Amino acid sequence: MKTHSRGLIVTSAATATTLLVFVGQASATTKLATTTTAKRTSTAHSYKSGQLSIDAAGQATCKKGNQFTATATWSLGKVTKSSAYIKQLSVKYTAPIAGKSVNVGRINLVNGNNKVVYGTDGRYVVQVKGGTSTTQTYPIKKTVTFNNKQIQFRRYFEVNTVGTEAQWCGGTAEFAFILKSRA
């Protein structure tokens, strides 16, 4: 996997908000964390997340448009104030620009105590070829605790540069789909 480690900086605050910042001349439109709020109930239900994306808008040296997008569907069972039964999580990954691929790697599903309850190691890499989408379904089948906080599905990804793009037009970062409960 080709990595541009200088291209992107990732900052995770204690609240586990994920932020991606392009360095150099770049200033991208970015949304790398989205929160879904599940209603407390004992019946099965699904929730679709907002869209995560990275866009190099305004950068003369980068391909125009979204570099990467992702949306998730949480399939849940019983949701309480303290936990949620997660049947599965389906995530659609899109690399909209022809020729500009995205690699998605290690998965971590973390509970409210920031403990990994489901995951893969860094060798689990899926390439999304430029101009295509792929959907992956993760069979979680676990009750995961909130502990008055949130559950997060985190995944590392890498946007590859193409052609004569500047180095900061690609790089690695992490995104997060966040789940909370409400009465």
Query: Cα separation of 142 and 87, whole Å?
Result: 7
> Residue 175 has which token pair?
């995104």
The CA-CA-CA angle for residues 15, 18, 22, to 5°, reads: 145
Q: Which residues contact 104 (CB under 8 A, 6 or more apart)?
A: 93, 125, 126, 128, 155, 156, 157
Specify the 3-state DSSP secondary structure of 167: helix
Task: For the chain, give the percent of residues with pLDDT over 70.
Answer: 84
Beta bridge mates, 53: 31, 69
For 47, the domain range is 8-182
Q: What is the mean pLDDT of residues 34-44?
A: 96
Residue 146 lies in a domain: yes
Q: Which residues contact 79 (CB under 8 A, 6 or more apart)?
A: 38, 39, 40, 41, 85, 181
Beta bridge mates, 48: 73
Query: Cα separation of 13 and 140, whole Å?
Result: 26
Residue 156 lies in a domain: yes
The total of structural domains in the chain comes to 1
**Whole-model pTM?**
0.82
* CB-CB contact of 4 with 172 (8 Å): yes
Residue 3 lies in a domain: no
**pLDDT (tens digit per residue) in 139-179:** 999 999 998 899 999 999 999 998 888 888 888 889 999 99
Confidence class for position 10, pLDDT limits 50, 70, 90: very low
Give the chain's mean pLDDT.
83
Query: Cα separation of 150 and 183, whole Å?
Result: 14
Residue 136 lies in a domain: yes
Query: Cα separation of 66 and 159, whole Å?
Result: 11
**pLDDT (tens digit per residue) in 74-122:** 999 999 999 999 999 999 999 999 999 999 999 999 999 999 999 987 7
